[in-house]
A and B are shown apart, each in its own frame.
Chain A
Amino acid sequence: MNSLLVAPAIMVGIGLFFGTILAIAQRFLKVDEDPRIEVTNELLPGTNCGACGQPGCLPFAEKLVAGTVDPSQCTVSTKENIEQIAEFLEVDAGSQEKLVSRLRCNGGGLQAHQIAEYQGFEGCRAAAMVSGGGKGCSWGCLGLGDCEVACTFDAIHMNKNGLPQVDTEKCRACPDCVAACPRDLFELVPLSQNLFVQCNIPLAGEAATQLCSVACDACGKCVADAAPGLIRMENNLPVIDYSAGGPAAPEAVFRCATRSIVWLEGEQFQDQESRKAGGV
Chain B
Amino acid sequence: MDNLPWIFISALLVNNFVLTYFLGLCPFLGVSNSLETSARLGLATTFVMLVTAVCAWVLNTYVLIHAPYLRLICFIVVIASTVQFIEMLIKKLSPALFRAMGIFLPLITTNCAILGLAIFATNRGYGFWEGIVYALGAGIGFTLALVLLAGLREEAELSSIPKLIQGTAMNLIIAGILSMAFMGFAGLFSST
User: CB-CB contacts of A107-146 with B at 8 A, as 1s and 0s?
Assistant: 0000000000000000000000000000000000000000
A22, CB-defined interface residue at 8 Å? yes
- CB < 8 Å: which of A10, A11, A14, A21 contacts B85? A21
Residues of B within 8 A of A7 (CB): 67, 69-70
B88, CB-defined interface residue at 8 Å? yes
A138 and B65 alpha carbons, distance in the complex (Å): 82
A1, CB-defined interface residue at 8 Å? no
> Interface majority SS on A: helix, strand, loop or mixed?
helix
User: CB-CB contacts of A12-36 with B at 8 A, as 1s and 0s?
Assistant: 0011001001100110011100000
User: CB-CB contacts of A27-56 with B at 8 A, as 1s and 0s?
Assistant: 001110000000000000000000000000
A6, CB-defined interface residue at 8 Å? yes
Nearest A-chain residue to B98, judged by Cβ: A31
Residues of B within 8 A of A22 (CB): 81, 84-85
| Interface size of B in residues (CB-CB distance below 8 Å) | 17
Query: Do A10 and B74 touch (CB < 8 A)?
Result: yes
Residues of A within 8 A of B70 (CB): 7, 10-11
A25 and B70 alpha carbons, distance in the complex (Å): 26
Residues of A within 8 A of B96 (CB): none
A15 and B81 alpha carbons, distance in the complex (Å): 10
In the assembled complex, the CB of B82 is this many whole angstroms from the nearest CB of chain A, namely 8
A15 and B80 alpha carbons, distance in the complex (Å): 12
Residues of B within 8 A of A95 (CB): none
Residues of A within 8 A of B92 (CB): 29, 31
Query: Do A6 and B66 touch (CB < 8 A)?
Result: yes
A3, CB-defined interface residue at 8 Å? yes
- CB < 8 Å: which of A14, A25, A30 contacts B74? A14
A198 and B63 alpha carbons, distance in the complex (Å): 77
User: CB-CB contacts of B84-99 with A at 8 A, as 1s and 0s?
Assistant: 1100110110010000
- CB < 8 Å: which of B66, B69, B78 contacts A18? B78
- Residues of B86-138 contacting chain A, CB below 8 A: 88-89, 91-92, 95
With A10-B74, A11-B73, A14-B77 as contacts: A25 and B85 at CB distance below 8 Å: yes
Size class of the contact patch on chain A: 10 to 19
Query: Do A29 and B89 touch (CB < 8 A)?
Result: yes
Query: Do A29 and B88 touch (CB < 8 A)?
Result: yes
A15 and B73 alpha carbons, distance in the complex (Å): 11
- CB < 8 Å: which of A3, A11, A31 contacts B91? A31
- Residues of A38-83 contacting chain B, CB below 8 A: none
In the assembled complex, the CB of B44 is this many whole angstroms from the nearest CB of chain A, namely 18
- Residues of B37-67 contacting chain A, CB below 8 A: 63, 66-67
- CB < 8 Å: which of B66, B84, B95 contacts A10? B66
In the assembled complex, the CB of B58 is this many whole angstroms from the nearest CB of chain A, namely 12
Query: Do B67 and A10 touch (CB < 8 A)?
Result: yes
In the assembled complex, the CB of A255 is this many whole angstroms from the nearest CB of chain B, namely 46
Residues of A within 8 A of B95 (CB): 31
User: CB-CB contacts of A211-254 with B at 8 A, as 1s and 0s?
Assistant: 00000000000000000000000000000000000000000000
With A6-B67, A7-B67, A10-B67 as contacts: A18 and B89 at CB distance below 8 Å: no
Residues of B within 8 A of A25 (CB): 84-85, 88-89
In the assembled complex, the CB of B91 is this many whole angstroms from the nearest CB of chain A, namely 5
With A11-B73, A14-B78, A22-B81 as contacts: A29 and B91 at CB distance below 8 Å: yes
Residues of A within 8 A of B84 (CB): 22, 25
Residues of B within 8 A of A21 (CB): 81, 85
User: CB-CB contacts of B10-40 with A at 8 A, as 1s and 0s?
Assistant: 0000000000000000000000000000000
A6 and B68 alpha carbons, distance in the complex (Å): 11
Nearest A-chain residue to B77, judged by Cβ: A14
A11 and B77 alpha carbons, distance in the complex (Å): 10
Nearest B-chain residue to A25, judged by Cβ: B88
Residues of A within 8 A of B67 (CB): 3, 6-7, 10
In the assembled complex, the CB of B167 is this many whole angstroms from the nearest CB of chain A, namely 15
Q: In the complex, given contacts A14-B74, A15-B77, A18-B81, what are 9 additional A-B residue pairs having Cβ atoms less than 8 angstroms apart?
A: A3-B69, A6-B67, A7-B67, A7-B69, A10-B63, A10-B70, A22-B81, A22-B84, A31-B92
Chain A interfacial positions (CB closer than 8 Å to B): 3, 6-7, 10-11, 14-15, 18, 21-22, 25-26, 29-31
Give 8 A-B contacts (CB < 8 Å), ordered by A residue: A3-B69, A6-B66, A10-B63, A11-B70, A14-B78, A18-B78, A22-B85, A25-B88
